[in-house]
Structures are given as C-alpha cells and as structure tokens.
Amino acid sequence: MKPSQLLAATLIFSGMAMAEDCSKAQTQSEMLICADKDSRATDKALNTLYGELLRRYEPKYQVLLKDAERRWIAYRDAECRFETAATEDGSIHPMAYAQCITAKTKARITELTAQRDCAEGDFSCNKPQ
C-alpha cells in the first residue's frame, strides 16, 4: 500500500477530522494528518515556483528544466523510499515518508529560488529572463 493510500485508510477508519492546529498535534493520527498537509503545501509552493520559471525561460531551457524536474522527482521519491524503508511495515511510515518528501521538496525550492534570483553575470546558474 502506498503511503497516500495508507493515509486515506487511516483517516477513514480513525474518523478524525482534519487537525486545525498542527502545533498541538499529539496523536499519531493528528501528526500524520499534519505531515500530509505540510507535504501538500510544500508541493504546491514548488509547483508555483516551477511554473513561474517555465514561463520565464525560453523554450530550449524549458526542455532542460522539465527534464531536470522529472529526474529530480524520481530521485526524491526513490531517496525517500530508501530513507524510510526501516519504517515500511509500521504505522509511522506514512508520516515518515511525508516528512521526507517535504524536506526534499523544501530543498528543491531553495535550489530553484537560487536559480531564479542569481545575480546577473553569475555563470554558475541559468537565470531566467
């Protein structure tokens, strides 16, 4: 079962409402809900930044960015499967996996932001127009 499927099953069977204040999450179900919410919000932020970059790059660089992003997603997912493998059979696994995805996605946001905001004439990055 995929972590997202396990999350859905956990929510259905626990009968819990979405946690409103994640700073006060105490139960495993509440923490899982909050980890999923954080993961979704971070993914949304990445998609917004990625879309902005795609619009600003000329077509030849758009192709390269799309390829890099597809490869990065494959890396992120594989790395998080590896990093959380020890918890795979446990009830904490979906939360651990979501937290890993969130951490990797935040790091990617930092990388893409550095590309977007690099100084004019900095040859170590590909600043969009």
102: domain CATH number is 1.20.1270.180
State the chain's mean pLDDT as an integer.
87
Structure tokens at 4: 């997202």
Which pLDDT does position 12 carry in this prediction? 40
Instruction: Give SS3 for 20.
Output: coil
Residue 28 near residue 90, CB atoms below 8 Å: no
- Note down the domain range covering 80: 30-113
Predicted structure pTM score: 0.81
Residue 23 covered by a domain? no
**Blockwise average pLDDT, block size 10, the chain, 129 residues:** 54 48 82 90 98 96 97 98 96 94 98 93 87
| Structural domain count of the chain | 1
Which pLDDT does position 16 carry in this prediction? 45
Q: Where are the beta strands (DSSP E) in 1-129?
A: none
The CA-based angle 69-43-105, given to 5 degrees, is: 60
